[in-house]
């Protein structure tokens, strides 16, 4: 949908006397999303909500299998886990029962951590005590945050406040 | 009368369609217009010539038909009363390590390829080429009894990657391998080139220490303010012993490290084939500053994202109903405006005195009655730290 073309960084004026050039380009297509300055597909206010995300969690259940996917707004499914794949089915009693959901959550969380996607949007509203709720609980216990940060908006000089720049926050 | 009939014949079909004038203002009729999705797809459309990809890796190994074994295993599990009890009580917890081992042998390589595409790794390494990493490459950094593995895109801090990692993979004793670590985003001057951080050629079997180190290990150095850089390990299988015609770099300088994987692979593609892939992301921390100061003996560059300039419309002669001071500030030289605020700030500061404590109730301080209202507002903004004061 939207291309990330403008990934230039201008060196701040203080360091102009260094030998490196003024402009630097980071080609990493996921960089702007991580730095919170990439675009989200916004503008569908009159549509059913659920389009404004970089990564989104989706679960599809059928009679034979349960599929959990992480979707990207351009690239589609990027991380997948199914209860019917041999890695899970080998140790499960049934591939559609509650335990299947719980273990699917654990496996998908592990895969997300390995792929460096730690935060994602989730619009699932499970009923209390349902299988999906247990899946989400295990998924969050696995270390994934089910909320995506908002896009950082660069303040105009005449704006009232200056929000904190996400890339300047470093933990010591 | 004749004249009007003549005119009627001249109406073109497009004019006939525009009878519903009220609707044309908002664009074409719903049946005629395209959706936003269609329009964006049309904008991003690329011809087949540019999107065709070439598989440069190994084909998947043919495995013996294990379906019957799987069916037997499932039957055995279904008859296990103890397992059934666990599943009914929601206590069946599978072993993640065992599950991962099976995953690596079955769907793992395909999932890895999927996520590498998502991170644009193949695109920036080989252009149109890609491969499915059928060989599992296990890499971890050993930091103070802590083992930090490299998977596919996880985040590792540069301070954790100062020493070369431990690499292991399954191989025959008489096979030869090449391991390359490149930074896909780190080049300081040419953004479509890479730095090669590590190149070990002619590795016999799985012992990386016994290989010929062509280019010595260099720690990752993501620059401050440029976000997350990708670093990719690729393991190539060699058909025979090769002496890559590369100048050896055994110091930690950046000279001779500029690299384009695509060109390098093109010259040696007859004898090497990519088999394993692992990559990580990394962002700035203090060890990068030390690296620039102590090893490169250089000033550390600092960057900031180049946001587009805000739109300011053309200045008017008589801007009606606009506060004159705020309006004029938009059209002044920003440096001059900043200087004014800086001077105001410095005016109240004395290097030999401790700064005055901030006002407890800034809005309760009376302002002189003779003061015009715009100046009162300006004063209040200064006291509350609103607006342009924050820029200095």
> Domain extents for chain A?
48-141
- Are B102 and A11 a contacting pair at CB < 8 A? no
pLDDT in tens, B201-211: 999 988 999 99
Q: B96 pLDDT band (50/70/90 cuts)? A: very high
Domains of chain B by start residue, with CATH: 2-45 (no CATH), 134-295 (3.90.280.10), 324-391 (no CATH)
Q: A21 pLDDT band (50/70/90 cuts)? A: confident
- Are A20 and B188 a contacting pair at CB < 8 A? yes
Q: Is pLDDT larger for residue A71 or for residue B357?
A: A71
Residue pair B109/B132 in contact by the 8 Å Cβ criterion: yes
Q: Considering only CB atoms, which chain A residues are within 8 Å of B303?
A: 9-12, 24
- Are B44 and A99 a contacting pair at CB < 8 A? no
Which of B96, B184, B299 shows the shortest C-beta gap to A15? B299
Q: B74 pLDDT band (50/70/90 cuts)? A: very high
Q: Is A4 on the interface with B (CB under 8 A)?
A: no
Q: Is A113 on the interface with B (CB under 8 A)?
A: yes
- Are B326 and A158 a contacting pair at CB < 8 A? yes
- Are B99 and A87 a contacting pair at CB < 8 A? yes
Determine the distance in angstroms separating the CA of B167 from the nearest CA of chain A, rounded to an integer: 17
pLDDT for residue A9: 65
Residue pair A88/A104 in contact by the 8 Å Cβ criterion: yes
pLDDT in tens, B265-285: 999 999 999 999 999 999 999
Q: Which residues pair with A25 in a beta bridge?
A: A8
Please tell me whether residue B73 adopts helix, strand or coil conformation.
helix
- Are A116 and B154 a contacting pair at CB < 8 A? yes
Q: Is the model's pLDDT at B348 over the cut of 90?
A: no
Q: Is A39 on the interface with B (CB under 8 A)?
A: no
Placement of tokens 């440029």 in the chain: B226
Interface confidence (ipTM) of the complex? 0.89
**Which of B157, B301, B377 to mutate to test binding with chain A, by most A CBs within 10 Å of its CB?**
B301
A77: closest CA among A126, A120, A26, A131?
A120
Averaged pLDDT for residues B342-357: 90
DSSP classification of residue A8? E
Q: Is A61 on the interface with B (CB under 8 A)?
A: no
- What are the Cα distances from residue B378, in Å, to A1, A118, B325? 44, 44, 9
Q: Is the model's pLDDT at B323 over the cut of 70?
A: yes
pLDDT for residue B22: 58
- Are B114 and A79 a contacting pair at CB < 8 A? yes
Q: Is pLDDT larger for residue B30 or for residue B254?
A: B254
pLDDT for residue B25: 62
Answering whether pTM is above 0.95, one says no
- Are B118 and A86 a contacting pair at CB < 8 A? no
How many angstroms separate the CA atoms of B122 and B277, rounded? 10
Q: Is A2 on the interface with B (CB under 8 A)?
A: yes
Residue pair A74/A61 in contact by the 8 Å Cβ criterion: no
**Pure H helices in A47-97:** 86-89
Which of B77, B120, B223 shows the shortest C-beta gap to A93? B77
Q: Is the model's pLDDT at B262 over the cut of 90?
A: yes
- Are B326 and A20 a contacting pair at CB < 8 A? no
Q: Is A141 on the interface with B (CB under 8 A)?
A: no
Please tell me whether residue B90 adopts helix, strand or coil conformation.
coil
Residue pair A25/A8 in contact by the 8 Å Cβ criterion: yes
pLDDT in tens, B18-61: 455 555 566 777 788 888 788 888 988 989 888 899 999 999 88
Which tokens is A108 given? 């998908």
What class does CATH assign to A48-141? alpha beta
Q: Is A134 on the interface with B (CB under 8 A)?
A: yes
- Are A87 and B184 a contacting pair at CB < 8 A? no
Q: Is A97 on the interface with B (CB under 8 A)?
A: yes
């Amino acid at each position: 949908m939207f291309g990330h073309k403008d990934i230039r960084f201008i060196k701040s004026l203080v360091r102009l006397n260094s030998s490196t050039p003024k402009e630097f380009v980071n080609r990493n297509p996921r960089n702007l999303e991580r730095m919170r300055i990439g675009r989200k597909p916004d503008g569908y206010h009159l549509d059913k909500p659920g389009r404004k995300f970089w990564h989104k969690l989706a679960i599809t259940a059928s009679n034979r299998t349960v599929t959990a996917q992480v979707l990207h707004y351009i690239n589609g499914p990027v991380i997948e886990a199914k209860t019917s794949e041999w890695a899970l089915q080998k140790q499960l009693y049934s591939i559609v029962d509650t335990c299947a959901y719980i273990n699917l959550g654990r496996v998908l969380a592990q895969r997300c951590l390995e792929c460096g996607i730690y935060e994602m949007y989730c619009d699932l509203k499970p009923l209390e005590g349902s299988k999906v709720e247990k899946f989400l609980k295990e998924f969050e216990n696995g270390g994934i945050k089910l909320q995506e940060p908002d896009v950082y908006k660069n303040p105009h000089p005449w704006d009232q406040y200056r929000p904190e720049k996400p890339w300047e926050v470093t933990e010591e | 009368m004749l004249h009007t009939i003549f005119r009627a014949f001249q109406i073109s079909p497009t004019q006939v369609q525009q009878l519903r004038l009220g609707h044309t203002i908002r664009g074409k009729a719903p049946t005629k217009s395209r959706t936003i999705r269609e329009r964006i797809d049309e904008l991003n459309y690329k011809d087949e010539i540019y999107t065709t990809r070439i598989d440069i890796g190994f084909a998947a190994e043919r495995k013996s038909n294990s379906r019957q074994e799987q069916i037997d295993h499932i039957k055995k599990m279904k008859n296990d009363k103890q397992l059934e009890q666990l599943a009914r009580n929601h206590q069946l917890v599978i072993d993640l390590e065992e599950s991962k081992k099976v995953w690596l042998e079955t769907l793992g390589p395909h999932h890895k390829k999927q996520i590498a595409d998502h991170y644009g790794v193949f695109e920036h390494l080989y252009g149109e080429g890609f491969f499915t990493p059928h060989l599992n490459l296990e890499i971890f950094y050993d930091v103070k009894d802590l083992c930090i593995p490299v998977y596919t895109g996880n985040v590792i801090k540069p301070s954790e990657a100062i020493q070369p990692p431990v690499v292991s993979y399954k191989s025959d004793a008489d096979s030869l391998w090449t391991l390359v670590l490149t930074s896909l985003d780190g080049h300081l001057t040419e953004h479509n080139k890479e730095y090669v951080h590590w190149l070990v050629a002619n590795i016999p079997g799985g012992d990386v220490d016994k290989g010929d180190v062509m280019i010595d290990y260099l720690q990752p150095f993501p620059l401050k303010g440029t976000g997350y850089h990708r670093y990719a390990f690729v393991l190539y299988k060699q058909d025979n012993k090769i002496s890559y015609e590369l100048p050896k770099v055994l110091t930690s300088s950046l000279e001779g490290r500029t690299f384009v994987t695509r060109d390098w692979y093109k010259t040696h593609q007859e004898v090497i084939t990519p088999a394993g892939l692992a990559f990580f992301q990394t962002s700035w921390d203090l060890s990068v500053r030390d690296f620039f100061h102590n090893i490169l003996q250089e000033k550390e560059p600092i960057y900031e994202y180049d946001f587009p300039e805000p739109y300011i419309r053309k200045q008017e002669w008589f801007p009606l109903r606009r506060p004159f001071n705020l309006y004029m500030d938009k059209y002044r030289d920003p440096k001059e405006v900043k200087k004014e605020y800086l001077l105001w700030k410095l005016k109240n500061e004395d290097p030999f005195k401790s700064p005055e404590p901030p006002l407890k109730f800034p809005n309760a301080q009376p302002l002189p009655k003779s003061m015009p209202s715009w100046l009162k507002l300006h004063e209040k903004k200064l006291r509350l730290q609103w607006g342009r004061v924050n820029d200095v």
